[in-house]
Amino acid sequence: MNIKKVKTGIIAAAVGMACLVSTPAVMAAESQYIGSLVYRTGPYAPGGIPWADGFADYINLLNERDGGINGVKLNLEECDTAYNTDKGVECYERLKGNGPTGMPAVMPLSTGITYALLDRVVADKIPLITSGYGRADGSDGTIFPYVFVPPATYWGGADIAINYISQQEGGYGNLKGKKIALVYHDSAYGKEPIKTLEALAAQHGFNLTLFPVPHPGLEQKSTWLKIGRQLRPDYVLMWGWGVMNATAIKEAAAVNFPREKFIGVWWSGNDADMVPAGDAAVGYKSLQFNGVGADFEVHKMIKQVLYANGKGSAKSEAGIGEVAYNRGVQSAVILTEALQGAMNEFGNKPVTGEQVQWALDRLDIDEARLKAIGAEGLFDPIKLSCADHLGKGRAKMTQWDGSQWKSISDWIEPNNEMLGAMYKESAAAYAKEKGITPRACN
Amino acid sequence: MRLERDVFYIILASLLLMVAIPWTAGLLSEEIFFEWPFFFEVAIGGLLSGVMYSLVALGFVLIFKASGVFNFAQGAMVLFAALTLVGLNEMGLPMWLAIIATLIVMLVLAMAIERVVLRSLVNQEHIILFMATIGIAYFLDGFGQTIWGSEVKNLDLGFSQAPDFYFGGLILINDFDLIAAVIAGILVIVLALFFQYTRIGRALRAVADDHQAALSVGIPLKHIWVIVWAVAGIVALVAGIMWGSKLGVQFSLALIALKALPVLILGGFTSIPGAIIGGLLIGAGEKLAEVFIAPMIGGGIEDWFAYMLALAFLVFRPQGLFGEKIIERV
């Protein structure tokens, strides 16, 4: 009797398991799989959570409102990297084959993971989209066919920051003799703008002083005593990350350095960075490659379709419109527009990474399309080509008013002529090192 | 007596070097800006930071004294205590009540750690206990975030963060740093007195030397462990409040343990005064090095210089400045 019961139990469990296993497979056959590398845990989670929420909300909005893309439902799966490179690679390997056609593109959200995946994505034919991080020379599509870097690069960010300062000072001619300091995370990421800033310092005659901050940047008193009491620069730029950002802003206040002359790159401009800095952050400026605020049509749709029905990803509607949230939406827009482009070409069914790469090579999100999405003014139009995997690379300046970011400039375009040559030179060196033959783009 | 004289001479020599090296660097290199008011500003800033390091180092010392184990989870305890405090405060508890509630949580945590983890490891190799604390650290990191979330939380104690000028306007000192140093200093003195002049203090030294021997003379090992982990929890809460109000309450708080390690190496793992003197020397030493030496070699030396400084002290005092000299017969 007991044995019979056990047998029945085993059979029931087996049937149940079979159902569990087969259900996603059936769903997967109909839907477009999207693997998303996020970091909702770990030391950088405060910036990772709103990004992941924004990304998921936009994907869910398309599913709930439009039934997916061209009638193909989207099936989102997250994998938490905790911002660790090893976990990131593990996530990529785990997700890349999921769904009927595999992962159509990967957004690693980390320069470290980006570098670790560079060779793998070429072998797997999966586009690597790095928005505002990763390799700046990935903008050269002839050398990096599977790397896409819209809407901006660190090199462009450095140029835009100097462009903005020149506007404040009444023109590039007035930069001569000015003192500009760079406080940077002492890592490959933090060092990214140095080459560009050195070139600009030589060109415009300002004095550049570098202040590396060792990871994680919990203690910066000596750095800021040097800046605020000794060097007394006209402007300070920051390429910071995580807890380093708030600490730097507080230490800047502690030595009375004017926050209005303190400019961070976009990764030093999250809402989460401003919270612990409190009043010390009022007046601090940051570049952003996306608009700020929650007053755009796409936000209204997300609130109406998802949050009103309890389907939002963030804990509450209050998270909508945070800078990192908007960036998540932007990344989702870039990916889903590419998916749509691929489906338009290859048929309304799940598409492969190779097909998405084809679409990214032709990605054109113009003003009209942004308006249709509900993101007019929130994002800058993006137009890519086989050779150009960046676009215009524009960003805008924003300022923290104590409770939110305010946009204080229009989109600023970097000197793409100068930067384009630098991208090409760097990409050519990479191609030589790796033995890559540039593809023809006509 | 001879040992004390050694320590005195080592500290005196290091203080002289801390003055002489920056002054000489200022004379020799054009890149180094040296003026006495600026030197004192950096040195005072470093000493105040050093007190904050001592605060974290204290937690390590307490548990090492009681069990001979390096508590890998001390940083996680700082994070957990701060997350709990802010979480309870956000739920509507007034701050004073949230502090009391968090103290109770830390006491319960200490009891749970003793009951679940430590009790079965009595008289095991220290490395086993150390590995157990790694497990506790990961558990607390994850558990704290699961309950209270991973978002950055603001902890505003209402202290001014503005700079103030002292000594005729010549020297800038941050008020918050001063207040934090005073609070940390008071805590350190109370703990030093408690463990130096009470029966518990003697009992925990006995436990640190030999678990079984301590048990055999009637010292209640489990009570001692609970007390010490609870006191380490209180120290973690104070460190969490002070560092949390400085950095925001977020996962990175767990990383401040990194700032305490050179303090422990230098001061010795078993001495509360060692944690204090070590913190002051490391704090002042790393700041002076960053400002007056780093510009000649590219900058960003603060973190590794602290470890180098600590290791340099080990050359003269292998057990740390105030550590207990271990003599084992073979």
SS3 per residue for A124-191: HCCCEECCCCCCHHHHECCCCCCEECCCCCHHHHHHHHHHHHHHHHCCHHHHCCCEEEEEEECCHHHH
Q: Which band of pLDDT confidence, cut at 50, 70 and 90, is reported for residue B296?
A: confident
The neighbour count for residue A294, using CB atoms within 10 Å, is 19
Distances (CA, A) of A355 to A64, A391, B26: 25, 20, 62
pLDDT of A349 reads 96
Structure tokens at B265: 């190496």
Q: Within a domain: residue A8?
A: yes
CB–CB contacts below 8 A, A to B:
124
CB contact (8 A) between residue A225 and residue B161 = no
Please give the residue of chain B at the shortest CA–CA distance from A222.
Answer: B287
Partners of residue B42 in chain A, C-beta under 8 Å: 222, 225
In chain B, % of residues over pLDDT 90: 31
The one-letter amino acid at A148:
F
Residues 6+ apart with CB under 8 A from B324: B268, B270, B271
In chain A, which residues have their Cβ closer than 8 Å to the Cβ of B155?
Answer: 276
The per-residue pLDDT for range B268-285, each reduced to its tens digit, is 888 888 888 999 999 999
Residue-level pLDDT at A21: 44
- Distance in Å, alpha carbon of A182 to nearest chain B alpha carbon: 12
Q: Are residues A314 and A345 in the same domain?
A: yes
A267: DSSP letter: G
Q: Please indicate whether, in this complex, the C-beta atoms of A246 and B248 are within 8 angstroms of each other.
A: yes
- The string of pLDDT tens digits covering residues B144-165 is 988 998 888 888 887 777 777 7
Residue corresponding to tokens 């008289």: B123
- pLDDT bucket at B100, cuts 50 / 70 / 90: very high
CB contact under 8 A, B161 and A256: no
Distance between A380 CA and the closest CA of chain B, angstroms: 28
The CA–CA distances, whole Å, from B252 to A47, A316, A390, A400 equal 13, 24, 33, 23
For residue A163, give how far its alpha carbon lies from the nearest alpha carbon of chain B (Å): 27
Residue with tokens 């925001």: B248
Contact (CB, 8 A) for B258 and B242:
no
> What's the full length of chain A, in residues?
442
The verdict on residue A441 lying in a domain is no
Residue A425: is it exposed, middle or buried by C-beta count within 10 angstroms (0-12/13-18/19+)? Answer: exposed
Q: What is the mean pLDDT of residues B162-170?
A: 77
Q: Is the pLDDT of residue B109 over 80?
A: yes
Domain limit, last residue, from A272, A288, A304: A288
A275 and A168 belong to one structural domain: yes
Looking at the fold, whether A25 and A46 belong to one and the same domain comes out as no
Q: Greater confidence, B243 or A19?
A: B243
Output the CA–CA distances (angstroms, integers) from residue B215 to A220, B123, B141, B198, B210, in the order listed: 47, 10, 33, 19, 9
Rounded Cα distance between A417 and A419, Å, is: 6
* pLDDT band at residue B174 using 50, 70 and 90 as cut-offs: confident
Q: Which residues of B touch A186 (CB under 8 A)?
A: 300
CA angle, corner A362, sides to A196 and A383, nearest 5?
A: 45
pLDDT one-digit tens code per residue, B222-238: 888 898 899 999 999 99
Of B154, B172, B255, the CB nearest to A278: B154
pLDDT at position A241, please?
A: 92
pLDDT above 90: residue B324: no
Helix (H) or strand (E) holding B211: helix B211-216
Q: What is the pLDDT of residues B31-51, one digit of tens each?
A: 778 888 899 999 999 999 999
**Which pLDDT does position A199 carry in this prediction?**
95
Quote the CA–CA distance of B182 and B163 in Å, as a whole number.
17
Q: Across the strands, what pairs with A79?
A: A37
Question: What is the nearest CA distance from B214 to chain A, expressed in angstroms?
Answer: 40
- pLDDT tens across B183-232, in order? 888 887 888 788 778 888 888 777 777 778 888 888 888 888 898 899 99
Nearest of A167, A134, A176 to residue A153 by alpha carbon:
A134
Is A254 touching B (CB cutoff 8 A)?
A: yes
- Would you state the pLDDT for residue A5? 56
Chain B, nearest residue to A271 by Cα:
B152
Nearest CB neighbour to B255, from listed A43, A46, A186: A43
How far is B242 from B264, CA to CA, in rounded Å? 20
Contact A321, A304 (CB under 8 A): no
Is B327 strand, coil or helix? coil
Closest CA–CA distance from residue A278 to any residue of chain B (Å): 8
Residue numbers of the domain that contains A346: 32-152+296-394+415-434
| Three-state secondary structure call for residue B113 | helix
The pTM is what?
A: 0.87
Domain count, chain A: 3
The pLDDT score that the predictor gives to residue A20 is: 44
Name the closest residue on chain A to residue B155, using Cα atoms. A276
In angstroms, the separation between the Cα of residue B135 and the nearest Cα of chain A is 16
Picking from A259, A288, A317, the residue at the C-terminal end of a domain is A288
Residue numbers of A between 270 and 289 with CB closer than 8 Å to B:
272-273, 275-280
Instruction: Please answer yes or no on whether B161 and A210 come within 8 Å at the CB atom.
Output: no
Residue-wise pLDDT for B308-318, tens only, equals 988 888 888 88
Peptide bond into B163 cis (omega under 30): no
Residue A28 has pLDDT above 60, yes or no: no
The answer to whether the Cα torsion of A171, A176, A178, A181 is positive or negative is: positive
Residues A14 and A51 in one domain: no
Residue A251 and residue A217 in one domain: yes
- Encode B37-49 in three state secondary structure: HHHHHHHHHHHHH
Q: Which residue has the higher pLDDT, B159 or A225?
A: A225
Residue A68 CA: distances (Å) to CA of A35, A58, A72, A82: 15, 11, 5, 29
Query: Do A271 and A300 share a domain, yes or no?
Result: no
The answer for residues whose C-beta is within 8 angstroms of residue B202's C-beta and 6 or more apart is none
CATH of the domain at A198: 3.40.50.2300
Q: Which of A44, A218, A255, A257 is the best mutation test for B, with the most CBs of B within 10 A? A: A218
| Section A415-434 average pLDDT | 95
Give long-range contacts, CB 8 A cutoff, 24+ apart: A186-192. Answer: A186/A212, A186/A213, A186/A214, A186/A215, A186/B300, A187/A215, A187/A241, A188/A111, A188/A112, A188/A115, A189/A111, A189/A133, A189/A154, A189/A239, A189/A241, A189/A267, A190/A239, A190/A240, A190/A241, A192/A136, A192/A154, A192/A155, A192/A158, A192/A239
Measured from the Cβ of residue A352, the count of other Cβ atoms closer than 10 Å reads 17
Residues A429 and A300 placed together within one structural domain of the fold: yes
**Closest CA of chain A from B84, distance in Å:** 17
| Least CB–CB distance from B256: residue in A211, A218, A256 | A218
pLDDT at A26: 41
Q: Which residues contact B200 (CB under 8 A, 6 or more apart)?
A: B194, B224, B227
Asked if A216 is an interface residue toward chain B (Cβ–Cβ < 8 A), one would say yes
In Å, how far from its chain's centre is CA A225? Answer: 32
Evaluate whether residue A409 is within a structural domain: no
- Cα distance from B248 to chain A (closest Cα, Å)? 4
The dihedrals phi and psi of B131, each to the nearest 5 degrees, come to -60, -35
Q: Do A46 and B174 touch (CB under 8 A)?
A: no
pLDDT at A433 over 90: yes
Q: Which of A46, A212, A253 sits opposite B152 (nearest CB)?
A: A46
Whole-number pLDDT of residue A2: 53
> Same domain, yes or no, for A101 and A125?
yes
The answer on A93 and A143 residing in a single domain is: yes
CATH class as words, domain B45-316: mainly alpha
Of the candidates A227, A258, A288, which is a domain's last residue? Answer: A288
Here the tokens at position A316 are 């509450």
Residues A61 and A188 grouped into a single domain: no
Ramachandran region, residue B299 (left: φ > 0; alpha: ψ -120 to 50; beta: rest): left
Give chain A's mean pLDDT: 92
Q: A306 and A200: one domain?
A: no
Q: Where are the domains of chain B?
A: 45-316
CB contact under 8 A, B152 and A256: no
Nearest to B254 by CA among B269, B244, B268, B267: B244
Q: Hey, what are A207's tokens?
A: 């004095």
Residue of B nearest to A46 (CA): B151
A323 touches chain B (CB under 8 A): no
